[in-house]
Structure 1
Amino acid sequence: MSKRPLIAVILALPLAACATVPPVEVTRFHIDSPARSGTIAVEEMPGNPDVSLEFRTYAASVQQQFAQVGFSPVSAGASSEYVALVNFRRSFRPGGIDRSGKPVSVGVGGGIGSGGYSGLGLGVGINLSGKPKDIVTTELQVQLRRRSDSTTIWEGRAYTEGKQGSPESQPAAAAQKLASALIRGYPGESGRTITVK
């Protein structure tokens, strides 16, 4: 049996791993019976970095997702029943290092036996672009409050990662992906962290 097809498959494994879309980690908390409908306005959470153009991208994604679960955008000049406070953050770390700061590598190995054993010995080291690209971590936090008494009735956080320059690391794509993962299935299970692919 030829080993060439097997070698081709093994060589493709690290490349396939690099092509996967990063998941989103989501955690939500809410009161026993959070509101399921009403008018809503999206506002910047106090302390959010002052990046107004990027904020509008996240605000629009959050507004769109709340509309899909039953909330209506407030009319211009009117006061909403609920306010969704939005905070987001983007951070960068060198590629090849995981969140704990330890180096990360992907490799395939094997060994050659003796005495009638036919095995495959292969060591793969692939460096496609020289220095690894930075990893962009994007986090989104949303609090849903009753406007009448400022009580937080629902809160969620989501984060994802992507290589710098990849589609999932771009602000518009990250905003849509995070807002969808966070708000879809509203209100979700309180106090549980889930992974959304």
Structure 2
Amino acid sequence: MLKQIILSSTLALSLAACTTVPSAEVTRFHTGNPARTGTIAIEEMPGNPDISLEFRTYAAAVGQQLQQVGFSPVTGNASDYVARVAFSRSFRPTGNGYNDKPVSVGVGGAVGSGGYSGLGLGVGINLSGKPKDIVTTEMQVQIRKRSDSTAIWEGRAYTQAREGSPAAQPAAAAQKLAAALIGGYPGESGRTITVK
């Protein structure tokens, strides 16, 4: 019975670990009460470090979220506001070199009461392969008035996930970051929060 309880608990923890959704760290800045309605065009931020076709994925995610908080996304130069979007993805290796070895061997010995002794040899094989890198995805959004380019709101967010996991895919990361960043717009200015 105890064995079944331990097995059930271990399985539940394993499943919970597999379904863990990474959180996002979010910081927003604004003064007063920024606009909540009007037409808005989504543009790539000048100097975006990761210029690519992938931008459309991030722009679409930001546009969806802006629409949910009251803006009307449009194309062209006739909008009331401009949302400038930048994003980047970086990869950080995991592991320290010591635990990455595919095979480990351990030897142990003991002397028990009554003069009995024992010697044990254990071999561990790591079948998981090389540890996956950690992917960090960052997004920055600025909302500016079209008329004079005054910034009325700015935010940045980042999230991390293991390479190859669903959460590390660009589309999933874009949706996660846009929802975390723009959800609850305008948010508390100058405070960093964690969004699950």
TM-score tier after normalising by the smaller chain length: 0.7 to 0.9
Distance apart, 1:91 and its partner CA: 0.4
Q: Comparing 168-177 with 48-57, which one deviates more in the overlay?
A: 48-57
Question: Which runs of 5 or more residues in structure 1 are unaligned?
Answer: 98-102, 104-124
Aligned equivalents of 1:8, 1:163: Cα separation in 2: 26
Q: Deviations over 1:140-169 (max 9, x none)?
A: 010111111211111111111111111111
Structure number with higher strand proportion:
2
Letter of the 1:4 counterpart:
K
Q: Give aligned-pair identity as a percent.
A: 73
Q: Confirm whether residue 21 of structure 1 aligns to residue 21 of structure 2.
A: yes
1:132–1:38: structure 2 CA closer, same or farther, 3 Å change rule? Answer: same
Number of equivalent positions: 169
For the aligned residue pairs, the C-alpha RMSD in angstroms reads 2.2
Alignment map for 1:112-191 (pairs within 5 Å): 129-191=128-190
Question: Which runs of 5 or more residues in structure 2 are unaligned?
Answer: 100-123
Distance apart, 1:63 and its partner CA: 0.9
Give the TM-score of the pair, scaled to structure 1: 0.77
Q: Deviations over 1:106-156 (max 9, x none)?
A: xxxxxxxxxxxxxxxxxxx99561221111010001011111121111111
Larger radius of gyration: 2
* Matched residue, 1:5: 4
Distance apart, 1:192 and its partner CA: 1.3
**Is the contact between residue 41 and residue 84 of structure 1 (CA under 8 Å) also seen in structure 2?**
yes
Give the TM-score of the pair, scaled to structure 2: 0.78
Q: Deviations over 1:63-121 (max 9, x none)?
A: 111011111122x4442111111110100011347xxxxx9xxxxxxxxxxxxxxxxxx
Aligned equivalents of 2:192, 2:126: Cα separation in 1: 34
Letter of the 2:61 counterpart:
S
